[in-house]
């Protein structure tokens, strides 16, 4: 249900988030399931959703209670175990693959659907927005620390350019590339996924939720946000290739299992996608 506090609602674009989440469950997932039959298994069952045009207190979304199936949030709030990470990335690869499949066999319909997604990121193009300022200030903290380290002093030019003119750079992070962009989760992190565990504590399944910030953008948006928020530096150094392969192998397998010719990026394209 919608939150009551007006300031929080405005800050989070709560009304628009409701529209997007209902759109995901009512429209995108049934659409994707026509080519990837089990894609809805990655999400809680959608029971009911309604968004009014004039009374936010009537807005409601009802999802399956996953706790009855022994699903819960991961205990760690920051650095997930490698098993958690690989499982989440495999699921993400499968979800992103649906976009490549649909762009290959039904591009006009796919683009019409992603164009119906409402933009909640007003701060991206508004340099006076408080959230944009919040991000910049946090970046400056990290920049000042790294700039004082000899090993980084010649590696920060791109960060320096960003901090000098964030209003120019922010929109570029969300630009759509016709070849590589997909429907992204938009807030892909530990807080928005439930894991099911064996008695030993080993994760055996994952489901994603909180799809209110979906966006048509580079897949790097989801991948980078997750890996830099919910993994440790030691994990990224030791297992980076394994993590990216886990995502990509799932994406590739899903695309190739479709009974159509599907265009999707090669693994070797990955650096170029990140650069785009």
Query: Model pTM?
Result: 0.91
Has residue 71 got a pLDDT over 90?
Answer: yes
- Would you call 166 exposed, middle or buried from its count of C-beta atoms within 10 A (0-12, 13-18, 19+)? middle
What integer best gives the mean pLDDT of the chain?
90
Structure letter (DSSP) for residue 46: E
Q: Looking at residue 4, what is its pLDDT?
A: 53
Query: Which residues of the chain form beta strands (DSSP E)?
Result: 46-50, 60-63, 71-72, 182-184, 193-197, 203-208, 215-217
What's the CA gap between 96 and 40, in Å, rounded?
A: 13
Spatial contact of 119 and 212, defined as CB atoms under 8 Å apart: no
- Going by pLDDT thresholds of 50, 70 and 90, the confidence category of residue 217 is very high
CA-based R_g, the chain, Å: 19
What's the CA gap between 194 and 208, in Å, rounded?
A: 6
The two three-digit tokens of residue 231, written as one number: 């993994």
Has residue 274 got a pLDDT over 70?
Answer: no
Mean pLDDT, residues 230-246: 96
- Going by pLDDT thresholds of 50, 70 and 90, the confidence category of residue 14 is low
């Amino acid at each position: 249900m919608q939150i009551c506090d007006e300031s929080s609602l405005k800050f989070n674009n709560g009304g628009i988030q409701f529209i997007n989440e209902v759109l995901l469950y009512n429209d995108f997932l049934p659409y994707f399931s026509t080519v990837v039959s089990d894609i809805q298994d990655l999400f809680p069952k959608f029971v009911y959703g309604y968004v009014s045009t004039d009374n936010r207190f009537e807005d409601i979304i009802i999802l399956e209670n996953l706790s009855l199936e022994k699903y819960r949030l991961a205990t760690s709030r920051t650095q997930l175990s490698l098993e958690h990470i690989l499982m989440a990335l495999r699921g993400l690869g499968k979800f992103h693959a649906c976009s490549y499949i649909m762009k290959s066999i039904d591009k006009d319909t796919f683009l019409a659907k992603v164009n119906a997604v409402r933009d909640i990121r007003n701060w991206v193009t508004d340099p006076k927005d408080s959230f944009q300022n919040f991000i910049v200030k946090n970046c400056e903290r990290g920049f000042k620390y790294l700039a004082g380290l000899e090993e980084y002093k010649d590696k920060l030019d791109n960060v320096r350019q960003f901090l000098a003119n964030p209003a120019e750079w922010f929109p570029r992070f969300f630009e759509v590339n016709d070849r590589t962009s997909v429907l992204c989760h938009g807030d892909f992190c530990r807080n928005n996924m439930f894991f099911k565990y064996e008695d030993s504590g080993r994760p055996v399944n994952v489901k994603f939720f909180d799809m209110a910030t979906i966006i048509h953008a580079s897949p790097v948006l989801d991948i980078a946000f997750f890996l830099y928020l919910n993994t440790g530096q030691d994990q990224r150094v030791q297992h980076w290739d394994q993590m990216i392969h886990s995502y990509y192998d799932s994406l590739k397998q899903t695309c190739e299992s479709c009974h159509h010719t599907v265009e999707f990026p090669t693994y070797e394209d990955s650096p170029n996608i990140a650069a785009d």
